Structure 1
Amino acid sequence: MLRKTRYGHPVSLLFIDLDHFKRINDTHGHAVGDDVLKAFCNIARKCMRSTDLLGRWGGEEFVILMPNSGVMIASLLAERIRKATMAYEFSVVGRVTASLGVAECREEESWESWLSRSDAALYAAKAGGRNQVIKDATHPGETGEAELLYLAYMRLGWRKAYESGHSLIDSQHRDLFDLANNLLTSVLGDRPDDEVVPQVESLVADLAKHFHDEEMIFRSVGYAAADEHAETHKSLIDHANNLVESFKQGELSVGELFNYLAYDFIAKHMLSEDRKFFSLIQAEFTAAG
């Protein structure tokens, strides 16, 4: 929460409850119940990133703290945990499901408020039939305090406000949004790695081409920070290629890879750093007109 306040890094919380857990203890005993809790922890850890923190909140309830993650990425992890739990054959008891609530920490929010929203989202998931993910609204003014997690809610949406005024840059940015959304669809659908890898490689290749074209454009309009921006491009691509190799070697989850591509490339860079030279492009078009 301090990092969010100081640097603006998002942070999200997952509140998790194993469905009908009391029946397991009552039917099979507490020793079997403990085995189920341990098995669930192993399932969750396999879905998590190395920076995520898992803790037992009490009884059959768990929390996962996700640094550098907005509600979209946290919801992605929650859905992976839900599906992995549902697919697992637990010893003695067989199938077990989980309900999950997701909340991203808001600006100026207390820990108690953040936890309460996550808990309320979990309650909504259980009240709505269990074995589902509910995410709390990201901002207080959003309609609906909690909503069922459908794929449509998680898509990266293009807005007119993102446009630079340069047709090539804008068309490439929109194409990159589409590629990221296609990758997200594959991630949520648990598609095999041999289907995901070509999508990832295509996205990174298109990013590299976009960076090259963009550098030519912002140099042509006299962008003062052109060299620094180009160095940022090189660093991003180098890191992306390293992550792709780690993913191929099984050292990185597809969720963590998508988190970097969606957050660092799109949210932080395309929608923040790129906007610094948009005014120069727009001024040139105005002068030319």
Structure 2
Amino acid sequence: MLRKARYGHPVSLLFIDLDHFKRINDTHGHAVGDDVLKAFCNIARKCMRSTDLLGRWGGEEFVILMPNSGVMIASLLAERIRKATMAFEFPIAGRVTASLGIAECREEESWDSWLARSDAALYAAKAGGRNQVIKDATHAGEAGEAELLDLAYMRLGWRKAYESGHSLIDSQHRDLFDLANNLLTSVIGDRPDDEVVPQVESLVADLTKHFHDEEVIFRSVGYSSADDHAEIHRSLIIRANNLVENFKQGELSVGELFNYLAYDFIAKHMLSEDRKFFGLIQTDSMRQAESRETPQFATTCNND
């Protein structure tokens, strides 16, 4: 949490509960229950990165702390653990499933608040039928980000609500989603670095061009915060290029790189900062449409 506050590094928390665990203890005894807990820990560790931290919270509940991870990377890990647990044949106990809740730490948030949101997401997973992953219910302004990752298909899902009304901006945003999905496929498939680097470089190049084109558009509609927004673009591109270099030098995993590029740069920026000028674009489009539809009457002067 201190690193997040100081450097802006995201951090997420997974809250995990083994479904119907009491039934295992009651049916097979506590020794078998203990074996299930140990086996689950082994399953979780095989899915985790070396920097992630697993802890037993109490009973059949566990937490996983994920440094340098936004909600997307946390969702990928949670789904991987859920599927691996469901597929494992536990000795004596048989099949066991898990419910998982996810929360990314917010700006200036306390530990108690962050934990409570993760716990609430876990409760929603259990109340909703168990054996599922639920992301924390975010504020209304962040709803788009919460819906962005479709775990059923493991891809970034484009929604009509993300559209600005400007054909170029919207087509570029969709293209960025596609490039991010290609990178996501490589992350899930554990593809070698020499395949990932061209994808990353293409994503950053398209992001750079998009920022340039977008600045021309929002300046043309008179966006009052145009200079501030352009400075955000410049900072994001500098950071993106630095992260790519860190990845090439082996200082950053492909999963962490995806989290920064797809989540921080595309999702967070596009679904929060960009929306601040979407209204101006839509108003300008309506004004132009009305101008085209209004009959123009010419006044003639008779010199007779």
Structure 1: gaps spanning 5 or more residues: 18-25, 86-97, 129-133, 141-148
> Which residue type is aligned with residue 217 of structure 2?
I
- Partner of 2:13, secondary structure, is strand
For the pair shown, which has the larger CA radius of gyration, 1 or 2?
Answer: 2
CA-to-partner distance for each residue in 1:76-135, whole Å, 9 max, x for gaps? 1345678999xxxxxxxxxxxx9764312499978468447548969x99x97xxxxx41
1:115/1:197 CA distance change after superposition, 3 Å? same
Q: Give the C-alpha shift of residue 40 in structure 1.
A: 7.7
Amino acid at match of 1:232: I
Which whole-Å CA distance do the structure 2 matches of 1:37 and 1:161 have between them? 39
Correspondence for 2:288: 288
Aligned to 1:75: 75
1:190-269 paired onto structure 2 within 5 Å: 190-269=190-269
Aligned to 1:277, what secondary structure does the other structure show?
helix
Query: 1:54 matched to which residue of 2?
Result: 54
- The 1:138–1:205 alpha-carbon spacing in structure 2 relative to 1, beyond 3 Å, is same
Partner-residue secondary structure (3-state), 1:258: helix
**What secondary structure does 1:242 align onto?**
helix
Q: Which amino acid aligns with 1:13?
A: L
Q: Distance in 1 between matches of 2:151 and 2:102?
A: 18
- SS in structure 2 opposite 1:223? coil
CA 1:102–1:258 in 2, change beyond 3 Å: closer, same or farther?
A: farther
Q: Which amino acid aligns with 2:266?
A: I
Residues 10 and 104, structure 1, Cα contact 8 Å, conserved in 2: no
Residue of structure 1 aligned with 2:102, choices 101, 104, 109:
104
Is the Cα contact below 8 Å between 1:103 and 1:137 reproduced in 2? yes
Task: Report how many residues are paired.
Answer: 251
Cα 1:160–1:44 change in 2 (3 A) is closer
Q: Is the 8 A contact 2:14 2:74 kept in 1?
A: yes
Q: Check the 8 A contact 1:47/1:77 in 2, yes or no.
A: no
1:136 alignment partner in structure 2: 134
Q: Secondary structure at the match of 1:191?
A: coil
Change (3 A) 1:115 1:102: same
List alignment gaps of at least 5 residues for structure 2. 19-30, 86-95, 107-111, 139-148, 290-304
Instruction: Tell me how far 1:176 sits from its aligned partner.
Output: 0.5
Q: Is the 8 A contact 2:12 2:67 kept in 1?
A: yes
How large is the RMSD of aligned CA atoms in angstroms?
Answer: 4.6
Residue 164 of structure 1 aligns to a residue whose secondary structure is: coil
State TM-score, norm by structure 1: 0.66
How much identity, in percent, do the aligned residues show? Answer: 66
